[in-house]
């Protein structure tokens, strides 16, 4: 099954990105109108997150969300065919607008903790070394950049995602920075004397039954939040920043690094995460369709 999936994805990945976008319109229609993929969850999430919007506007956001989700899938498949960075760079699919900011934080701190979300296209983060078009030296290199992920329950799917996410790297097979969430604490301790850039997707419900989680108000509702990344940053005095990824236009995302603190040991993990959610909310308010609304962030938790 994994071989068939990989073979099909590899063939599709050879197609031009424009053709992928053309096919994504059909995929969006099928997902929203025919298969009704999590339409109830999306509608409820949007209605509760934007209580001031009329039902007609919520429906418009929902429709545009499914088009964006289909684009994310199309871009991700195409991304898997970028076996060398040149193809990805030529596309200008993603551009870092302020690489000097991540360079600055990297220069003044032991390491940098980047808090990111399921906005934009998070599956493209593995190509970030190709997204700086300034021509200046950057700290974002394969030996410094780490991405934290959640291992999939299906081994074949997990292997496929890893291969796809690391496709543009020069040494995708030997890349050491692809860190499973259960291993990241040990990795950080083992590399405490090495400058690293750690990227955490932190907007989801906690992966595990953590005893110490943060209750935060996010888009008008209280929810549980993971704060392990903030705690790690505090422990090692890392700089912390938020990674914004708005859609500039179809086929063009812009990454912007927004500093939260230069030394996390001087702030509480709760304060760091609350600032993260404040920045994330601002991005969602600006582009309400540019977020993964099919997942339930607001699961109930015990008192």
Q: 151-200 pLDDT, tens per residue?
A: 888 888 898 899 999 999 988 888 999 999 989 999 999 999 999 999 99
| CA gap 131, 168 in Å, rounded | 11
Residue 14 has pLDDT above 60, yes or no: yes
Residue 205 has pLDDT above 80, yes or no: no
pLDDT single digits (tens) 84-129 = 899 999 999 999 999 999 999 999 999 999 999 999 999 999 999 9
- Minimal CA–CA distance to 98: which of 239, 254, 248? 254
pLDDT at 104: 98
Residue 4 has pLDDT above 80, yes or no: no
Residue 303 has pLDDT above 60, yes or no: no
Dihedrals phi, psi of 145, to nearest 5 degrees = -90, 130
| CA gap 113, 234 in Å, rounded | 10
pLDDT at 298: 81
Phi-psi region of 216 (alpha: psi -120 to 50; beta: other; left: phi over 0): beta
| CA gap 23, 36 in Å, rounded | 18
pLDDT at 297: 83
Element (H, E) at 113: strand 112-116
pLDDT at 125: 96
Say if residues 94 and 253 touch (Cβ distance below 8 Å).
yes
pLDDT at 208: 58
Residues 6 or more apart whose CB falls under 8 angstroms from that of 2 comprise: 155, 156, 157, 159, 160
pLDDT at 301: 52
pLDDT at 84: 83
> What is the CA angle 294-296-297, rounded to 5?
125
- Minimal CA–CA distance to 215: which of 299, 148, 114? 299
Say if residues 98 and 256 touch (Cβ distance below 8 Å).
yes
Runs of H (alpha helix) within 194-268: 228-235
| CA gap 270, 99 in Å, rounded | 27
pLDDT at 171: 86
pLDDT at 207: 63
Give the confidence band of 38 by pLDDT, cuts at 50, 70, 90.
very high
Whole-model pTM?
A: 0.94
Core vs surface per residue 88-115: b (16+ CB within 10 A) or e: bbebebbbbbbbeebbbbbeebbbbbbb
Average pLDDT over residues 124-151: 93
What DSSP state is assigned to residue 127?
A: G
Give the confidence band of 212 by pLDDT, cuts at 50, 70, 90.
low
Higher pLDDT, 7 or 114: 114
- In percent, the amount of the chain with pLDDT more than 70 equals 95
């Amino acid at each position: 099954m994994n071989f068939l999936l990989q073979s099909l994805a590899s063939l599709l990945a050879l197609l031009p990105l424009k053709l992928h976008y053309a096919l994504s319109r059909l995929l969006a229609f099928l997902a929203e109108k025919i298969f009704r993929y999590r339409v109830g969850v999306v509608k409820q999430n949007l209605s509760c997150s934007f209580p001031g919007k009329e039902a007609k506007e919520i429906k418009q956001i929902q429709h545009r969300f499914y088009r964006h989700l289909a684009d994310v899938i199309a871009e991700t498949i195409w991304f898997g065919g970028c076996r060398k960075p040149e193809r990805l760079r030529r596309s200008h699919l993603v551009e870092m607008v302020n690489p000097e900011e991540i360079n600055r934080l990297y220069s003044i701190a032991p390491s940098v903790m980047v808090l990111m979300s399921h906005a934009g296209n998070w599956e493209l983060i593995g190509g970030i070394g190709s997204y700086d078009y300034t021509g200046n030296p950057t700290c974002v290199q394969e030996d410094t950049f780490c991405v934290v992920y959640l291992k999939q329950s299906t081994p074949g799917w997990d292997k496929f995602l890893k291969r796809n996410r690391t496709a543009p790297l020069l040494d995708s097979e030997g890349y050491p920075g692809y860190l499973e969430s259960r291993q990241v604490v040990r990795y950080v301790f083992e590399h405490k004397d090495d400058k690293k850039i750690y990227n955490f997707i932190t907007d989801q419900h906690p992966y595990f039954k953590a005893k110490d989680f943060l209750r935060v108000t996010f888009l008008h509702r209280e929810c549980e939040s993971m704060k392990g990344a903030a705690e790690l940053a505090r422990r090692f005095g890392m700089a912390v920043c938020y990674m914004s990824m708005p859609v500039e236009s179809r086929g063009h995302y812009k990454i912007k690094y927004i500093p939260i603190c230069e030394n996390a040991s001087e702030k509480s993990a709760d304060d760091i995460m609350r600032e993260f959610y404040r920045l994330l909310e601002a991005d969602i308010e600006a582009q309400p369709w540019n977020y993964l609304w099919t997942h339930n962030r607001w699961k109930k938790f015990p008192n």
